Structure 1
Amino acid sequence: MTGTDQPLERGGTDPRAGARLLAPYRVLDLTDGNGWLCGRILGDLGADVVKIEPAGGDPGRRIGPFCGGGPRPAESLAWLAYNANKRGITLNLEAPAGQDLLRRLVHRADFLIESFAPGYLDGRGVGYRELRKISPRLVFTSITPFGQTGPYARYRGSDLIAMAMSGLMALVGEPGRPPLRVSLPQAAMWAGMHAAAGTLIAHDYRERTRRGQHVDVSIRDSVLWALANAPAHWSLMREDLERGGTSIVGRSTTGARMRAIYRCRDGHINFIFYGGEAGRRSNEAMVQWMTEMNEAPEWLRQKDWGTFNVAASTQEEIDRLEGPFVAFLLKRTKAEFASESVRRNILGYPVADARDIRGDPQLAARGFWQEVDHPELDAAVMYPGPFARCSGASCAIVRRAPRIGEHNGEIYGGEMGYSRPELETLRQAGLL
């Protein structure tokens, strides 16, 4: 909800929004789903993000699931989520006159983000080399499957390809079984975050030097960043990381696998045996709870956790330790474990599902959820709130995702001076 616990006004903007960190700056967003999040982050920080799409709409508008059982273009949940805090215009970049319009838009822009195949915009005379002649201060950010250079630069890509070629899939799944993808598509989201960071770093450079930059983000490279621990693992352990499934591998020199996920009455619990002083306290607290419930065997009650050495534990020892914990946690609920783990200082917590997250009191106390009114749906939609909180500035959603060409009149007419008859002529010519 907003600060006054009311949804945004039906017009799409919130006049109650506070100071916006990037309010003086404009972003031209020419991305597809590979770059949506970059523009969304900049929009959350207050930039005036103008989403540019073809007259028929961004193909991503037709990515399900759909709100209200559509599939009408405005109802894609992915579109609504990642294109909030943007205005929307249409433009035909295939036509020379459309390319001229983009050049005019660049005169008023500080950033341009795009996710076309390398060479696409260059081939139409609106790549970075040409646009920087118009605006030397322009920060131009490209988000592509493999980056702008190298033998794979012009290859097509997807989330599955990025996950596979990064090596991440090799570490996901159960040992002895095929690799698995990582949940919902995430590779482009990671790249979007890296693109936003790179864009803002280039912006800082521009503020100091008055020179723009071309920021080149590879989606595959972004996924590889998630594996930064793999080289260090080899250096320390002299073995490659392997798929562990629901277990942790690589903590023992004996090769023992340690369970990380336990079943409980209504879901799953994350709990791991740790060594050292922190592990001793957590393990002892867990055994004490089991003892109070008459569910700890004598040998477990007598165990000296102060001498427990994770690195030297064998698989037989780990399996014996885990047995009583498996039986005990299977009788507990997630809420029960959450309460007791905090009260007893146990290193573990329930695995939250969507229902748990939506009802989380911590998120509610921070006003994390924000309701945004969508007139085209005749409904309000609940969104996650700001990714960061800044003192004296707002990072809230102040504008719902735009309808196709919703702000054509506002930008082409009100800002660029085209009359209504001229706009109609442009539309009939297939430029808007």
Structure 2
Amino acid sequence: PPHPPPHPPYQRRAWRRTGEMAMLTAADLEELQTVKAKHLKAFLETQPPQSNGEDVLSAWEKLYDEDMRQVVVETIHGPSDDETNPALPYEKLQAVIGDGGNWKWPRMWQKFDEIERRGSAYREGEALNFDMPNKNPNVVPQRVLIVGGGPVGLRLAIEMRMGGHHVTVFEKRRERRDPDGSLSQLGFTNRINRPHMWPFVRNDLAKLNGKDLMRKEACYPVFTEPTTSSIGIDELQCLLLKNVLLLGVDFRLGVGYNNAEIRTDARTMRPTWEVDCTYDKIAADAFGKEHDQNKEVFDVLIGCDGPRSRVRETQERWFGEVEKRKFMDCVGIVANVRKVGKKRLKEMGFEYGQEPGDMNRTKMVFKDFFKQIEQTAGADIENLIYYKASLHNYTILVPKRADLVKHGLSGKVYTFAQGRETAADARNEEKAKLKDYCRKVLK
């Protein structure tokens, strides 16, 4: 690599647990390394917009199968053991694959080693601590359930896992398609909105291997210019999901939270949560559960399931009456605006030929601004977001659905592939109308 890492990568040796622990022979290790290096490459390359979170999970199943689960790695306290001395999945993969012939992978393993460990995840005296003390030495590991696999739920899962807890994430939103391939139900990573990132978020994603787990085209708007740093929600979720899986979080797609009750142990008086949950058919088969209703026990229950939170709704006794956000029937339109030269910008009325600065405006605050849009473009817009980027400028328009219908648009959801098809059908007509709508508003 052009810039060698500041610390040598932490080396791990691999065994396989088969009744008795046996050192992997050179031939076994070479065979496993070849197969898993190929699967790791496929796992890392599974990214939006060509792929979604479900594709990431499918690639993970091939990468971290029973062969990898049986791998034992050397630690400062002796061979790893899932009960008494657990090793994280990335540690097992590193022990088997090593650099895999890829100069980026040692840097990636090192980034994982450098994530701060606390509680029972901390191994006293091990090189990966980099002489940092255990900040929470007395924390007792808990069985933590996080409801919701969005960015907040995934990032929290990483933090809890590195605190030494056993973390499970329930995410019920599985993508569903009609026989013709059109999207009938959005999956958990189908959102394409693109929020601006504060510097601390940007730095956090860099620590979580953002530059190695995302392709360079996706990295550019995230890590180059701090003032206009932004990331797609789908890109963010897939990045965090890869971290979650490599760090050993139990992510369960197709599992929905219904309700939970506190149960208290009569002898110890220790409370736990008995969670009523629903497994769809695919999840039930994958995790060996009953299709439909199940009950599971956790020590900690955390709701990261959005503003219409089912967790908060069912636990009003503890949260109090939570005021729910009221949503208008709006549709977000993501539009890329081509950059033009200074001469053209002056012709368009921009003083000195300078592009307008980034903006994030809502109708509630900038009433005159949106009134002018309505008068000149005939569009009823609730929000407008604009970011300058490298090759184009990025905007999100949020009109009311009724306004789109008024302009002859259907509001139907298309997949990326369908949206980019050039077949002469109703979609092309709709795309033309959508472009015209955006052009009028942005002009």
Please classify the TM superposition score into its range, dividing by the shorter chain length.
Answer: under 0.3
Q: Considering fraction of residues, name the structure with more strand.
A: 2
Rg larger for: 1
What is the TM-score with the length of structure 1 in the denominator? 0.27
What is the TM-score with the length of structure 2 in the denominator? 0.26
Q: Which one scores higher on RCO, CA 8 angstroms, separation ≥ 6?
A: 1
